[in-house]
């Protein structure tokens, strides 16, 4: 067992940290305040290769691996969860299923520009009445000649309105339940596809979450991803990968909150001494740091499992469950240590606390993770 | 155009703190970085390469761990890296350091050498010009811009009160300011390639034996030595003037400013 | 045997720079301890008439070389001239200003002479036992001081940080030898070509780069309060800065904000006016070399980190201070 990061990963981590500190952190509060999609950051993410980290070079990727990917998410999430939401949705939920299930033509046409950052990706599964219960999909795809016709809508879709390529799950045969789901690659300018209303969210305010509307949307048959009826499997497997990214987000967020807090409690004085000196502060910090250490091991381990082509579904669920609950817990406790200042927007801690909550919800709520974990114990 | 960039790994001196109890430097936990002036030199070399082609080689002298700084430069896009590392090179002052680096440069094919103006741990700004002297090539220091025009290197050279726009033939040595070029980040691909596709060659005394007099290396070859080092006196409690007229206050301030040579 | 303390006088556009007189002032002390002379080297074109200035500021002798090639500073002709003068006279010590000229020239000369060079010295003295020059300089980003010696090579050379050494009182009655040192230059010596000389204009502000900052807090009262600070900072050759409150009020741009949520600065001089000194502000400036603060409230925390604190009204003191500083500057 080797708990040391490999040298290339250490170097990559340094790059992620520099990038996060200099490019992402300075505008984190601003994009939250303005609920603005950080187009300028996305351009920089493209330039430095963030959009294709775990993808092979032959498809325009960076030729790195899942471990490097989670390190990037962890470092960026320390300063801005919104930013990581954008490129994890792109990478885990759009590029990954095309890489895994796409034909060579689909990879050339979609994966290459996605990895190079020429196109931004998104993933549409959730519907108003089909969240965790994904089999209740109402969006339908009917084959007509050489194309499919999609009808229905999706909600809460990350990167919606900004993405060029969407993976859309739709029912091709309702009678078969989950086995009647299929996955499609839909381009933003396909006829009959529009982006609807934008949600106003509690956190990750810079990322978009809109409704997708399909009204007789024409999708060429060659854009079917995998086979007909494989949509549910593709979606579930995609969420497995996605959970690794969310776990890394939550981990980074908790670490970032703790770093801010350590700085603060060393500077802030009450009763004539820095509040770090109080035992309550120290116990809180020690407890949180320990749990973060454990969380990190869960995340790095699942990344390694995936890189080694070993089963990782349960580990991904465990990492996501533990890290996201930790992120909520840590940010709340950190805010308490900040006291009144923590409640103001002068400090990032209130934003971090708002942002943390989503990690317990998206790509499977904590309860879903428990279902996944429990199913491995049968 | 082949460019060699001289790079030093330095402790990030902005992260260095003094232990208030012992009044000594706390070196623990201080990260090692590429010296900022050198990093802008790497960036500038990469830009020249992108414009006119050629190869960028990084050259450093230091302990084995300085390899990391070179890998970082490779991850930014440099092609090759050489680390001069040998006990015989240790304890060198600027004269001996420049002799060692010049000895290695004599073995390399270069048109332009770029060295950072100065390192943040020593702040001497001497090694660049001394290398140029050892190699008997022209130098342009304090470069704020570098361009190549018809085989000539054109440099905007900074002084306190003016700039010189100068042209110089190759081979030449240029010392770069950190404002010369905002260094790019490593790319993700770059960080992996830096270990998997590229190489850092380590050269010891054996590799440069024929281009240098051993007497000019390391501690033995250093004309200067550090007699002692000490930390500055910790700040005492300041003076507080209460109940003074504006005129008295002005006088007190002006007196202090004169003492401090500010006016 | 090596003897005498040499200084390289720096001229720009035919004017001798102040650092040269500072070097002479220091050289004079060193020469006294060694019982030797102070000799200034002056290089330029049509520069002879300035040689006497160096005498008036304390040089015992001046050696000058005139050539068109020495008009603007260029490394090689200057190196050649300096090297040849040193080679011919074998001085014990040579001092240069740690300016962008001195820091280009001195290392090149030291390499040619094969001798040591200590950069950016802030302290120089003769060890009376060994007669060695003790060269003290900040290192490690100013966190430590190191004293350097050069035992076996001559001359002992140092560049000296401008503004640190004292200039001697100018005395017109001082006299000394002024000798020309003719040097034959050829085209090869001019190994670079100056295409253009551009005078520098002020760049956009970066308060983290400024050596002097005049900063204002809530005590300024309104936006116009910054005008007063602007005048003071201009007189001092510094920049203005601000606490967070004024940025939030929209009185000044965020670029000027010092503190936790602004920039961390470390100037040689930080003048805090009307700033109470919240911990968030102090975090951004307490490492400044010298801190002067003016505040009405004698209990303001800013005074705890100040080297000089004035309890008083900035609106009264700042304009008077500006006036006084301008007066002092005009005198010199």
What is the predicted ipTM?
A: 0.88
Does residue A130 carry a pLDDT above 90? Answer: no
**Predicted pLDDT of residue C299:** 82
Does residue A236 carry a pLDDT above 80? Answer: yes
pTM, entire model: 0.85
Interface A-C: count of C-beta contacts within 8 A: 7
Token digits for A106?
A: 């689909």
Residues 6+ away with beta carbon under 8 Å from C220: C226, C228, C229, C246, C251, C273, C274, C314
A8 to B191: CB separation less than 8 angstroms, yes or no: yes
- Digit-coded pLDDT (tens) for B182-216: 999 999 999 999 999 999 999 999 999 999 999 99
CA distances from C138 to B120, C121, C141 (A): 11, 7, 7
**Predicted pLDDT of residue C248:** 81
A269 to C279: CB separation less than 8 angstroms, yes or no: yes
- Tell me which residues of chain A, numbers 65 to 104, contact chain C at a CB-CB cutoff of 8 Å: none
Helix, strand, coil percentages for chain C (3-state, nearest 5): 35, 30, 40
A8 vs C: CB within 8 A? no
Q: Helices in chain B by DSSP H: which ranges?
A: 36-52, 67-76, 94-105, 127-135, 188-196, 205-208, 246-259
Which SS3 state, helix, strand or coil, does residue B124 take?
coil
Does residue C202 carry a pLDDT above 70? Answer: no
Homologous superfamily of domain range B3-216: HUPs (3.40.50.620)
State the smallest CA–CA distance between residue A54 and chain B in angstroms.
10
Touching partners of A (3+ C-beta pairs < 8 Å): B, C
B75 to A15: CB separation less than 8 angstroms, yes or no: yes
- Considering only CB atoms, B187 lies closest to which of A7, A14, A48, namely A48
Contact A225, A106 (CB under 8 A): yes
- Tell me which residues of chain B, numbers 226 to 255, contact chain C at a CB-CB cutoff of 8 Å: 226-232, 235, 238-244, 246-247, 249-254
Contact B114, B85 (CB under 8 A): no
**Predicted pLDDT of residue B20:** 64
Q: Is the peptide bond before B171 cis (omega within 30 degrees of 0)?
A: yes
- Region of B23 (left: φ > 0; alpha: ψ -120 to 50; beta: rest) is left
Give the whole-angstrom CA distance, residue C319 versus residue A7: 59
C195 to B166: CB separation less than 8 angstroms, yes or no: yes
Mutate: best of A265, A346, A348, partner C, most C CBs <10 A = A346
Give the whole-angstrom CA distance, residue A257 versus residue A351: 10
State percent of chain A over pLDDT 70.
100
State the smallest CA–CA distance between residue B254 and chain C in angstroms.
7
| Chain centre to alpha carbon of residue B1 | 22
Residue at token pair 């074109």: C45
- Mean local confidence (pLDDT), B86-111: 96
Query: Binning pLDDT at 50, 70 and 90, where does residue B235 land?
Result: low
- Digit-coded pLDDT (tens) for C113-139: 999 999 999 899 999 999 999 999 988
For the structural domain made of C212-331, what CATH number should be given?
Answer: 3.40.50.1220
- Considering only CB atoms, C111 lies closest to which of B98, B158, B232, namely B98
In chain C, which residue's Cα lies nearest the Cα of A260?
A: C260
Q: Name residue C156's beta-bridge partners.
A: C93
Token digits for B163?
A: 């700039």
Domain limits of chain B? 3-216
Query: Binning pLDDT at 50, 70 and 90, where does residue A268 land?
Result: confident
C5-189 has CATH 3.40.50.620 classification: yes
Burial class of A264 by CB neighbour count within 10 A (0 to 12, 13 to 18, 19+): buried
Residues 6+ away with beta carbon under 8 Å from A195: A160, A161, A188, A210, A211, A212, A213
- Digit-coded pLDDT (tens) for A171-215: 999 899 889 999 999 999 999 999 999 999 999 999 999 999 999
Domains of chain A with CATH codes: 7-116 (1.10.540.10), 121-230 (2.40.110.10), 233-375 (1.20.140.10)
B164 to C72: CB separation less than 8 angstroms, yes or no: yes
Query: Binning pLDDT at 50, 70 and 90, where does residue B237 land?
Result: low
In chain B, which residue's Cα lies nearest the Cα of C300?
A: B240
B29 vs A: CB within 8 A? no
Which SS3 state, helix, strand or coil, does residue A256 take?
helix
Give the whole-angstrom CA distance, residue A72 versus residue A252: 9
C279 to A267: CB separation less than 8 angstroms, yes or no: yes
Which SS3 state, helix, strand or coil, does residue C166 take?
coil
Exposed e or buried b for every residue in C20-59, given b needs 16+ CB within 10 A?
Answer: bbbbbbbbbbbbeebebbbbbbbbbeebeebbbbbbbbbb
Angle at A310 between CA A308 and CA A315, to 5 degrees: 110
**Predicted pLDDT of residue C332:** 66
- Tell me which residues of chain B, numbers 177 to 196, contact chain A at a CB-CB cutoff of 8 Å: 185-196
Contact A215, A203 (CB under 8 A): no
- Considering only CB atoms, B226 lies closest to which of C114, C146, C163, namely C146
Token digits for C189?
A: 């010596």
**Predicted pLDDT of residue C210:** 84
What stretch(es) of chain C map to CATH 3.40.50.620?
Answer: 5-189
Over chain A, what is the mean pLDDT? 95
Burial class of B55 by CB neighbour count within 10 A (0 to 12, 13 to 18, 19+): middle
Other C-beta atoms closer than 10 Å to the C-beta of C320 total 16
DSSP type of residue A275: G
Does residue B52 carry a pLDDT above 80? Answer: yes
Better-scored residue on pLDDT, A348 or A137: A348
Token digits for A270?
A: 């009450």
Mutate: best of A6, A7, A12, partner B, most B CBs <10 A = A12
**Could you list the active site residues of A?**
363
A267 to C261: CB separation less than 8 angstroms, yes or no: no
Interface A-B: count of C-beta contacts within 8 A: 56
State the smallest CA–CA distance between residue B169 and chain A in angstroms.
35
State the smallest CA–CA distance between residue A238 and chain B in angstroms.
23
Burial class of A203 by CB neighbour count within 10 A (0 to 12, 13 to 18, 19+): buried
**Predicted pLDDT of residue C48:** 94
State the smallest CA–CA distance between residue B147 and chain C in angstroms.
13
- Digit-coded pLDDT (tens) for A65-120: 999 999 999 999 999 999 999 999 999 999 999 999 999 999 999 999 999 999 99
State the smallest CA–CA distance between residue A81 and chain C in angstroms.
19
Query: Binning pLDDT at 50, 70 and 90, where does residue B23 land?
Result: low
Q: Which of A291-295, B49-53, C208-212 has the weakest average pLDDT? A: C208-212
A49 vs B: CB within 8 A? yes
**Predicted pLDDT of residue A20:** 97
Q: Which of A261, A295, A291 is nearest to A275 (CA)?
A: A261
**Predicted pLDDT of residue B18:** 67
- Digit-coded pLDDT (tens) for C269-307: 999 999 998 877 887 888 788 999 999 988 888 988 899
A259 vs C: CB within 8 A? no
State the smallest CA–CA distance between residue C246 and chain A in angstroms.
15
Touching partners of C (3+ C-beta pairs < 8 Å): A, B
Query: Binning pLDDT at 50, 70 and 90, where does residue B3 land?
Result: very high
- Beta strand ranges found along C222-302 (DSSP E): 239-242, 269-273, 290-295
In chain B, which residue's Cα lies nearest the Cα of A44?
A: B185
CA distances from C250 to C121, C222, C256 (A): 43, 10, 12
- Considering only CB atoms, C75 lies closest to which of B139, B232, B235, namely B139
A48 to B188: CB separation less than 8 angstroms, yes or no: yes
Q: Name residue B167's beta-bridge partners.
A: B154, C193
What stretch(es) of chain C map to CATH 3.40.50.1220?
Answer: 212-331
């Amino acid at each position: 067992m080797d708990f040391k990061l490999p040298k290339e990963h250490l170097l990559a981590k340094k790059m992620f940290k520099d990038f996060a500190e200099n490019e992402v952190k300075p505008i984190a509060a601003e994009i939250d305040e303005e609920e603005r999609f950080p187009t300028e950051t996305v351009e920089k993410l493209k330039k430095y290769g963030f959009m294709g980290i775990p993808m092979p070079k032959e498809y325009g990727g960076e030729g790195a691996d899942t471990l490097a990917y989670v390190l990037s998410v962890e470092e960026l999430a320390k300063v801005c969860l919104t930013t990581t939401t954008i490129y994890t949705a792109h990478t885990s939920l759009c590029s990954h299923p095309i890489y895994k299930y796409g034909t060579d033509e689909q990879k050339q046409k979609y994966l290459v520009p996605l990895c190079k950052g020429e196109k931004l990706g998104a993933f549409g599964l959730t519907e108003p009445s089909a969240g965790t219960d994904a089999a209740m999909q109402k969006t339908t795809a009917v084959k007509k000649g050489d194309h499919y016709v999609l009808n229905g809508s999706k909600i809460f879709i990350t990167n919606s309105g900004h993405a060029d390529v969407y993976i859309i799950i739709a029912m091709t045969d309702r009678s078969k339940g989950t086995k009647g789901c299929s996955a499609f690659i839909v381009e933003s300018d396909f006829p009959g596809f529009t982006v609807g209303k934008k949600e106003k969210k509690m956190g990750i305010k810079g990322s978009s979450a809109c409704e997708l509307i399909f009204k007789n949307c024409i999708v060429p048959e060659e854009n079917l991803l995998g086979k007909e009826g494989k949509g549910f499997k593709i979606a579930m497997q995609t969420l497995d990968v996605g959970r690794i990214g969310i776990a890394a987000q939550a981990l980074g967020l908790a670490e970032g909150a703790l770093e801010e807090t350590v700085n603060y409690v060393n500077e802030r004085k009450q009763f004539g001494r820095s509040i770090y000196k109080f035992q309550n502060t120290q116990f809180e910090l020690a407890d949180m740091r320990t749990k973060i250490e454990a969380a990190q091991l869960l995340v790095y381990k699942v990344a390694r499992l995936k890189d080694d082509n070993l089963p990782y579904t349960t580990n991904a669920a465990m990492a996501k469950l533990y890290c996201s609950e930790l992120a909520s817990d840590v940010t709340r406790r950190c805010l308490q240590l900040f006291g009144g200042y923590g409640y103001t927007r002068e400090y990032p801690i209130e934003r971090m606390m708002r942002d943390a909550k989503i990690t317990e919800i998206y790509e499977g709520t904590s309860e879903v993770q428990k279902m996944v974990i429990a199913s491995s114990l049968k | 155009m082949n460019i060699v960039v001289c790079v030093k790994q330095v402790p990030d001196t902005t992260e260095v703190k003094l232990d208030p109890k012992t009044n000594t430097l706390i070196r623990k936990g201080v990260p090692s970085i590429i010296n900022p002036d050198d990093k802008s030199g790497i960036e500038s070399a990469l830009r020249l390469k992108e414009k006119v082609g050629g190869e960028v080689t990084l050259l450093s002298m230091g302990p084995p761990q300085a390899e990391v700084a070179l890998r970082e430069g490779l991850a930014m896009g440099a092609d090759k890296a050489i680390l001069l590392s040998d006990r015989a090179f240790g304890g060198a002052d600027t004269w001996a350091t420049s002799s060692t680096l010049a000895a290695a440069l004599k073995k390399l094919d270069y048109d332009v050498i770029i060295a950072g103006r100065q390192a943040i741990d020593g702040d001497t700004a001497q090694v660049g010009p001394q290398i140029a002297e050892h190699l008997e090539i022209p130098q342009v220091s304090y470069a704020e811009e570098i361009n190549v025009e018809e085989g000539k290197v054109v440099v905007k050279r900074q002084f306190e009160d003016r700039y010189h726009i100068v042209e110089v033939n190759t081979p030449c040595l240029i010392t770069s300011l950190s404002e010369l070029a905002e260094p790019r980040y490593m790319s993700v691909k770059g960080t992996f390639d830096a270990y998997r596709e590229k190489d850092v060659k380590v050269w010891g005394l054996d590799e440069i034996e024929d281009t240098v007099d051993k007497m000019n290396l390391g501690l033995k070859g250093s004309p200067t030595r550090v007699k002692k080092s000490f930390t500055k006196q910790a700040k005492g409690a300041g003076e507080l003037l209460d109940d003074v007229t504006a005129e008295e206050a002005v006088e007190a301030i002006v007196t202090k400013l004169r003492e401090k040579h500010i006016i | 045997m090596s003897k005498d303390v040499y200084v390289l006088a720096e001229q720009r556009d035919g004017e001798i720079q102040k650092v040269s007189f500072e070097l002479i002032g220091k050289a004079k002390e060193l020469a006294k301890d060694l019982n030797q002379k102070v000799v200034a080297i002056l290089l330029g074109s049509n520069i002879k008439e300035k040689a006497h200035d160096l005498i008036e500021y304390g040089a015992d002798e001046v050696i000058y070389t005139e050539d068109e090639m020495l008009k603007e500073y260029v490394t090689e002709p200057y190196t050649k001239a300096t090297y040849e003068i040193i080679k011919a006279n074998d001085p014990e010590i040579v001092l240069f200003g740690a300016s962008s000229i001195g820091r280009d020239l001195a290392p090149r000369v030291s390499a040619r002479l094969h001798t040591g060079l200590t950069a950016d010295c802030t302290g120089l003295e003769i060890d009376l036992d060994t007669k060695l020059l003790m060269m003290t300089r900040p290192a490690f980003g100013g966190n430590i001081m190191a004293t350097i010696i050069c035992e076996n090579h001559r001359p002992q050379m140092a560049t000296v940080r401008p503004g640190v050494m004292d200039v001697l009182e100018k005395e017109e009655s001082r006299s000394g030898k002024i000798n020309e040192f003719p040097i034959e230059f050829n085209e090869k010596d001019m190994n670079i070509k100056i295409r253009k000389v551009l005078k520098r204009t002020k760049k956009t502000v970066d308060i983290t780069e400024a050596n002097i900052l005049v900063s204002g807090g809530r005590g300024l009262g309104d936006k116009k309060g910054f005008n007063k600070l602007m005048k003071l900072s201009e007189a001092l050759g510094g920049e203005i800065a601000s606490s967070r409150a004024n940025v939030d009020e929209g009185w000044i741009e965020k670029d000027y904000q010092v503190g936790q949520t602004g920039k961390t600065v470390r100037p040689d001089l930080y003048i805090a006016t009307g700033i109470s000194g919240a911990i968030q502000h102090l975090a951004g400036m307490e490492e400044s070399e010298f801190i002067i603060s003016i505040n009405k409230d004698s209990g303001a925390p800013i005074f705890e980190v100040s080297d000089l604190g004035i309890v008083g009204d900035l609106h009264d003191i700042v304009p008077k201070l500006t006036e006084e500083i301008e007066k002092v500057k005009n005198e010199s």
